[in-house]
Amino acid sequence: MYPIRRAEWLAENIFLMDVEAPRIAKYCEPGQFIIAKMDEKAERIPLTICNYDREKGLITIVVQVVGASTLRMSRLQAGDAFMDFVGPLGRPSDFVTEPFEEVKNRKYLFVAGGLGTAPVYPQVKWLHEHGIEADVIIGARNKDLVIMEEEFQAVAGNLYVTTDDGSYGRSGMVTKCLQDLYDEGKRWDVCVCIGPMIMMKFVCKLTKELGIPTIVSMNPIMVDGTGMCGACRLVVDGKVKFACVDGPEFDGHLVDFDQAMKRQTIYKTFEGQAMLKAKEGDTHHGGCGQCGGDK
């Protein structure tokens, strides 16, 4: 069992938990995720790691209530426990494994939208701990949905908060904030964007026009998290990839967002899943080479 040490609400339908999982905390890196399961009958849910404390053996997850399973999870309190808490899974962020001399000389911009703010945090924190100050844009629909602002203030070089309705910080979507900063003379070598699919699509469209290489995290489309369900199948540079086993991070300028969003809509129904399986054949599953598909 994996005890919950802290459980609190961050905003409407968004909650945070600290879970005791020493082995995961020891080995995880920014960009990776875990799979949580409450009990024998519960759904397996892949969740990006929001923070980790190696000394205390804690993993922090931030979850949005979007269905029955996450609603049930939101009712857990400190003192309750997960039956399974598996990880770290997925590939770490590129800068973790790249030559540090190259990483430290780059100017990073992080663009976080909604729940995507949570997985951006460990990346910015990692850079801060290594002496690299990154710019961060946090976007939300309104003031009440802005999360983790205090935490980012402690690790970001410059923090810009923007709300769609102008109720807090700058006014407008993250793309407007990015364009405004660029027009003010700000420049970056790399952009990392995490948030809703439609947001990532338009951030990538803008950064491509501005000539800024951009990394996106496709964790929002994961379902099974192990390469067996085929839900997170996407096309990157004309090639079939799977967010859970090949990512979750990819070159955003090479991701076919329109195909991925259309596919996610179809995948929501059993009939849609069957149609995708028939249409995609051997490439339907996550390419683990061991799951055997539906056999």
Q: What is the CATH number of the domain that holds 185?
A: 3.40.50.80
- Spatial neighbors of 8 by CB under 8 A, at least 6 apart, are 15, 16
Q: Domain boundary residue among 36, 71, 89?
A: 89
pLDDT of residue 293: 37
Residues 100 and 123 in one domain: yes
pLDDT at residue 294 in the model: 35
Q: Are 286 and 228 in contact (CB under 8 A)?
A: yes
Q: What does the longest C-alpha to C-alpha distance in the chain come to?
A: 57
233 and 290 in one domain?
Answer: yes
Task: Note whether 102 and 154 are same-domain residues.
Answer: yes
Domain end marker among 165, 194, 217: 217
Q: Based on the domain organization, do 210 and 99 belong to the same domain?
A: yes
Claim to verify: residue 8 and residue 116 sit in the same structural domain: no
The per-residue pLDDT for 67 is: 83
| Rounded Cα–Cα distance for residues 243 and 250 (Å) | 8
Domain of 270 in residue numbering reads as: 223-295
149 and 65, same structural domain?
no
Kindly state whether residues 130 and 229 are assigned to the same domain: no
Considering the domain architecture, whether residues 156 and 111 belong to the same structural domain is answered as yes
Residue ranges of the chain whose pLDDT lies below 70: 220-231, 263-295
Are residues 191 and 102 part of one domain?
yes
The per-residue pLDDT for 264 is: 65
Instruction: Please check whether residues 206 and 112 belong to one and the same domain.
Output: yes
Please tell me whether residues 101 and 207 are part of one structural domain. Answer: yes
User: Could you read off the pLDDT of 162-176 as tens digits, one per residue?
Assistant: 999 999 999 999 999
How many domains does one find in the chain?
A: 3
Say what the pLDDT of residue 225 is. Answer: 55
Residue in this structure with the two tokens 């969740």, named with its chain if needed: 47
